[in-house]
Amino acid sequence: MAFKSPWTGSTTLLVVCGDVPAHVSTVFIRYLLQGGRVLSVCSDFLNMAVPLFAFELPWTSSLVASGTVEVQEQAVVTISYRRWSSVQLLHHQHCFHSSPQHKRFSRELENTKDTDIRSAVSVEPTHVEIVDEYGGRHRLDLKILATDDTWGAPSLLSARVHQGKGSAVFSQVHLERDPRECFTMAGITSKLSISNEARLEILRDLLSTELCLDTNMSTSATSYSPAYFLGRHELKQTLINKLRPHMEKQELRRSQLTIQFVTSGMTARQPDDDVLPLLMSACPLTFSTVKYFEALKTSAIGRLVIYCDVMTSSMKVTAGHPPLVHGIVVLPTQQTQGKGRSGNSWLSPLGCAMFTTQLHIALSSNLGQHLTFLQHLIAIAVVQAVREHPGYADIPIHLKWPNDIYVGTNIKIGGVIVEATTIGSEIIANVGCGVNLSNSNPTYCINDAVRQHNKEYKSSLCELDRETFLARVFNSIEELIETFQAKGPGAVQHIYYKYWLHSNATVTVQNEHRRTESAVIIGVDNYGFLEAQLVSGTIITLQPDGNSFNMMDGLIYSKLH
């Protein structure tokens, strides 16, 4: 999974255990150097991240690398860390400097006296220099947090990127191991159980003090909300009449969710993972229907709304049989199981603007014959909702092929996912989209870009509210679909190019035989795939190799023009 999903931008903490291949370690080091937080527990990743874990011999000015030497596997050792003393923990089978009690230590120290070794290891390393995958040099500031009470071996080590935000903690004792997992080790379980509470406290302290994570435990369960059915009464009634043959006692069972249509006088069920009560005649306090419908100019898309403060996933509402209706949208404020690309979760903090819309598309239509272009239309609409708003043309919101929304060239703030099925002569497409509108975390948001623009250009643009923004997105979606259906891909490709990041970009591509060469991106074809030109002048069609974080990495081609 290290190479198959764009995890780095949404990861709060990377936990590394056990052996890590060198090529994967390179990715983890990149994450650390870019400001990530890493907890490495009994892993050889330490060798890659801190390649010169060394100590200075008192009788020389040189550094001697300690190397990896084995100690007794599954040994219980005691460590002291801050206010915790003589804590018994299971040691990793490798120790990263020589032990006076074991003769298998590095040859450089083979002839030294034990007293010299103890003197040597008392000098703590302060920093180490590492080289990234591009040859750049970086300094890690080191601090030994705890040592083994018997051998003096560093058991807990912190590393911080010098003048950067990245931080890591390396543990050579099994902080993650519950004593109950050690039941096969004779006599070990009882030893570890004595220190189990201290083990958990140390782990929590490391996460809090060294990795700056909030470790306050919340015991409250997720509190789901009922949903509200918004729109004109006759539109709502038409949909209910269509669904009624599939309903039982005002409930519609979907593939992943049961929707309860709650009319006046009915008792709503308790919302949870599997049940969504839909209030037919009430209005939410947290969403301005007046502001939304005043900004909405469509004939179908967004005219019926299922709004909910907290739900599992908006895609669950539209998924399944029977289909709902063309243009219905589901608007959650927060999701607990939001869906992203390649099976990833989409985080949904407050301020993130999210929606799912169901589109019914004739299979024989222009869009039905070029359905892969639909994700581009949705992404274009999100960008247009900002940059075609009067005064906002210079807000640097861009498109990154195939379905990402970016601020500038390197900050992802949103994405699109499409799930489609064919029923008879019609395609039912459930389109999900999430974009950071007012939430500065986990990356950046549109209103951050508006504030930055105001600061740089002394302007006074208003921050965008969710209701108006979403209405403008739906206006653009409907207009783009109508244009595509009437005139085909060529009528919208120039709009895509206006906002995308890839014009004349040079990329490395490979053919089916894995031979690589350079190519210059020249556009997208009628199905939305990238087109590029090789040095020879040959035009090729590109697609991702399926293994990269970045869809623009590892592009492959198989079709030549």
Q: Which CATH number do you get for residue 166? A: 3.40.50
Q: Where residue 354 sits, what CATH number does that domain have? A: 3.30.930.10
> From CA 473, how far away is CA 67, in angstroms rounded?
58
Residues 76-109 have pLDDT tens digits of 888 889 888 888 888 775 444 433 433 333 334 3
The chain-wide mean pLDDT, for the chain, equals 82
Residue 473, pLDDT score: 98
Q: What pLDDT is recorded for position 27?
A: 87
pLDDT classification of 179: cutoffs 50, 70, 90: low
Closest CA to 316 of 224, 404, 203, 381: 224
Q: Flag whether pLDDT at 342 surpasses 70.
A: no
Asked whether residue 3 is domain-assigned, the answer is no
Q: Is residue 385 part of a domain?
A: yes
Residue pLDDT, tens place only, 451-485: 999 999 999 999 999 999 999 999 999 999 999 99
**Same-domain status, 173 and 46:** yes
Closest CA relative to residue 98, chosen from 47, 32, 153, 165 = 153
Q: Which residues pair with 227 in a beta bridge?
A: 278, 308
Measuring CA to CA, which residue among 501, 495, 529, 491 is closest to residue 381?
Answer: 495
The per-residue pLDDT for 293 is 97
Residue that terminates a domain, selected from 451, 479, 499: 499
pLDDT in tens, 148-169: 877 677 889 999 999 888 999 9
Strands 247-248 and 63-65: unpaired
Q: How many CB atoms lie within 10 A of CB 204?
A: 15
Residue at which a domain ends, from 176, 210, 244: 210
pLDDT digits (tens, 9 = 90+) for 491-515: 999 999 999 998 888 888 877 666 7
Claim to verify: residue 76 and residue 194 sit in the same structural domain: yes
Look at residue 144 and tell me if it is in a domain: yes
Residue 101 resides in a domain: yes
Between β-strands 14-18 and 37-43, what pairing exists: parallel, antiparallel or unpaired?
Answer: parallel
Q: How far is CA 228 from CA 167, 286, 314, 334, 349, in A?
A: 44, 11, 13, 14, 20
Residues 491 and 510 in one domain: no
Asked whether residue 91 falls in the same domain as residue 173, the answer is yes
Residue 359 vs residue 63, higher pLDDT: 359
| 222 in a structural domain | no
* SS3 assignment for 474-540: HHHHHHHHHHHHHHCCHHHHHHHHHHECCCCCEEEEECCCCCEEEEEEEEECCCCCEEEEECCCCEE
Q: Hey, what are 297's tokens?
A: 């100019």
* Residue in this structure with the two tokens 């591509």, named with its chain if needed: 509
| Band of residue 185 on the pLDDT scale cut at 50, 70, 90 | low
Backbone angles phi, psi at 380, to 5 degrees: -60, -45
Which range is least confidently modeled, 16-25, 190-199, 336-345, 373-382?
336-345
pLDDT in tens, 306-323: 999 999 999 999 999 999
**Residue 83 domain flag:** yes
Domain end, chosen from 481, 499, 517, is at 499
Q: Are residues 492 and 538 in the same domain?
A: no
Q: Phi/psi at 245 (nearest 5 deg)?
A: -60, -20
Asked if 276 and 330 touch (Cβ cutoff 8 Å), the reply is: no
Band of residue 542 on the pLDDT scale cut at 50, 70, 90: confident
State the pLDDT at residue 176: 83
Q: With a cut of 70, say whether residue 119 has pLDDT above it.
A: no
Tally the domains of the chain: 3
Same domain, 356 and 231: yes
Q: Quick one: 51 and 163 in the same domain?
A: yes
Say which amino acid occupies 392.
Y
Coil, strand or helix at 78: strand
Q: Which domain holds residue 434?
A: 227-499
Tell me, yes or no, whether 217 lies in a domain.
Answer: no
Instruction: Tell me: do 333 and 397 sit in the same domain.
Output: yes
Greatest pairwise CA separation for the chain in angstroms:
91
Per-residue b/e over 369-398, b at no fewer than 16 CB within 10 Å? ebbebbbbbbbbbbbbbbbebeebeebebb
For residue 126, what are its two tokens? Answer: 């302060």
pLDDT at 44: 83
pLDDT at residue 122 in the model: 42
Q: Quick one: which of 500, 253, 279 has its CA closest to 375? A: 500
Q: Can the peptide bond before residue 277 be classed as cis, meaning omega within 30 degrees of 0?
A: no
Q: Give the pLDDT mean for 186-202.
A: 74
- Looking at the domain assignment, is residue 2 inside a domain? no
Residues 365, 468, single domain; the answer is: yes
Residues 292 and 397 grouped into a single domain: yes
Tokens of 78: 């005691």
- Report, in angstroms and rounded to the nearest whole number, the Rg of the chain calculated over CA atoms: 29
Q: Are residues 379 and 511 in the same domain?
A: no
Which of 179-193, 279-293, 357-371, 402-416 is predicted least confidently?
179-193
Same domain, 403 and 422: yes
Cβ atoms of 298 and 478 within 8 Å: the answer is yes
Residues 387-423: tens digit of each pLDDT: 999 999 999 999 998 889 999 888 889 999 999 999 9
Q: Which ranges in 341-420 belong to alpha helices (H)? A: 366-369, 374-387
pTM here is: 0.65
Query: Does 523 score more than 50 pLDDT?
Result: yes
pLDDT over threshold 80, residue 279: yes
